[in-house]
Structure 1
Amino acid sequence: MNSTYSLSAAIERGGSRWKGHQGEAETTLPLDPFILMTLALVGAGIYEKAGLDRAVGRIPIRIHVNGTRGKSSVTRLIAAALRGGGLRVLAKTTGSAARLVLPDGAEVALNRRGGASILEYVPVLREAARQRVDAVVIECMAVRPEYQRFTEREILRATIAVITNARCDHMDEMGETEEDVARALCSVIPGEGAVFTAEDLHLEIIRREAKRRGSRVVTLNEAGFPPGDCGEVAEIASRLSYLEFEENIGLALAVARYCGVEPDAARSGILGVTPDPGALKIWKARWPGDSLTYFVNAFAANDVDSARRVVARVTTILPLASASSRIVGILNCRADRPDRTRQWADALIKGHFPVDVVIATGSGCYPLRAFRPAIRQRGVDFRLLGAVSPDRVMQEIGTVVTEGGIVLGLGNIAGAGMALAKMWAGMGEEEWKPGSGSASLPASL
């Protein structure tokens, strides 16, 4: 399947259908060429929209996954649970690396010619209709509320929305408070559909917005998968090949049940899920030299609250070997996320992360220079490398890590984050395997 889509090509195809009519018009009416081109484009747009409407109408179950964290994982888990029930499912993630997950579970990387665009929904839905799927599960890729509304109301028109959680992120585009973020995420709530959520702090906002749209809200408690208190979810989490938040699994089970999938079938499907490239994993390696070091890929948990939960859990299941063992945080910052960089600085100054060393890298880490004295006052050895190569980061890690130490990848998976995670995977073996019994992440800490 061709994984690169071009809107311009679609417009050209639509426009070509108008050439004959355009020529006819020129022989009977002396219209301005600009007007003719405008009419051609409008006609092509109407034709394309009608085709999209037909495609959407042929997909019975349409699921739109939104939230601050966990969207990619939940998209994959829902698709796997539905496949376990025998449904033909097409899923699309954006996350760490955009993927199209086919009905047989195989994956296709989406190689974009330019930047990401919400118009990617259109060819995905057409492909889903062409493959005659029972369900499509799409991770919301829009950030601004108006774009989220457009993708929902004009393109996907979901039957089910999922809002994983609402936390402080993208404040420059979603609003100044966490409540603003929650309201923005509600932009994907469909009309007269169902909304599944693991969010509790801002649940009333979600209920209020769902009521306005005539949709029903289903929480994990209402679905029978209470966060942190469900043995079925914990058992599934312990058997996955990566560390997963229990609430994400609960959401997938709840949606699958709503779609008519038997619990055993959904469970079987989830156990066969392929994790996202940015999924939380732990490797152990003898590095540098013969020193035992644990490497943790938590780069994708790139807001402070999510990262705190991950770090708390990881330091529980990976107790330090001795009093001299150190926890080293690799903070990868993006230049286009200055709000996140400030949040990280504030969290480090307040001592919210139990780390001994912080190595800051990436194009967006330079503003942290102003906070270095305050961070060091907390007893943290703060080192600012800047936008350097992954090899240079590893060299710096080698100067501070100790026997039995933990290296935590934090901040962002993009760029150096993904490169470092790949290096760690090649250096050691995975610490947690299916059935290890201790790899699950609780819903709250």
Structure 2
Amino acid sequence: MEEQDFQFRQLADFMPQLVWTARPDGYVDYYNQQWYAYTGFEEGYGDQSWLPLLHPDDAQHCLDTWYNSVCTGEAYDIEYRFVDRKKPGTYRWFLGRACPIKDKSGQIVKWFGTCTDIDEQKRRAAHLEQLVVERTRQLDEANAQLTRSNEQLQQFASVASHDLQEPLRKIHTFSKLLLEQYAHGLGEEGTDLLLRMQRAVERMAELIRAILNYSRLTASPYQLAPVDLGKVVAETLADLDLIIQEKQAVIELCALPNVPGDRFQLRQLFQNLFSNALKFQPAGGRPLIRVTIQSANPQALAINSSIPVEGKEPAYWEIGVLDNGIGFDGQHRDRIFSMFERLNGRSRYAGSGIGLAICKRIVEHHRGAIAAESQPGAGAHFKIYLPALDS
């Protein structure tokens, strides 16, 4: 028995923790060398109270925990602070653990305990917590700034819808009057300059309307409601009926599902895609627009978008819009969704360069994504990913 006790003390002295043992009644009868080195207590000095070591805020909780364990026989695991003798007036965090050693009959014969220095870990955790608090504050400020920016954007939209467009309307009206009433005196060159001015005014008005639509999408909250995509597409094609007839376009449709979304925004989405398919055609070409539908798994959506996706198949629908137009170089498939990006000269194809950026913003409002595939002269294939109604 003495040999076992000697070996235990050697092992305890070798451990980096403060190690102690106590009798079943809670009286501490042994400390290892690390205890004496840390506390400065004299080895072999009788009843050594922990109270002078404990932080005043931790003392009562520590004592209550220990007395409860002695009474119930339950192990404990607790954090507390011991005074740091090397830095007077400061404390270090420790993790205290104690467990009862029982005989075959289940009676406690000894308590075994350790005190592990965790001060560095606690300080790191406190530092990380402070970083989180600071980061949260920064995010709150950024969100507040974003809110202010959205409000300013809405104010800009109001200005764009009236204050900017009104002068353009006057310029267009006056130039029209000049052409109607004074064209004979302006000569061919003067008439040509007025026509150029009118076209520039029309392009500016179109650009303002496009920016206004984009700003409304940016500032408006997303409203969730069931939308019949079949009706949306039918209404969109009805709006484009004249140009469809003029170009003798062929439209191939399929049955489309209901999806959660905003009816107006989804009409805008298909309006832009169909208009592009009708517009970007080779000279004399007869447009063909095909709409397809299939279920899409989250992996397919993640591949085609940076938007994180959750859910199981068929949580999303893949709606395809294919055309037989002039197409584009596939390396530009991401660039075409940026603001004011044009792959074709304005002299050949009119437009603001914002239509596909609006499409991208709309599908993002609907927790979806949009992708495009194409080759020059081989038409374009747009893939729209929208959540299913029950997702």
TM-score range, shorter chain: under 0.3
More helix by share: 2
| Relative contact order higher in (CA < 8 Å, ≥ 6 apart) | 1
More strand by share: 2
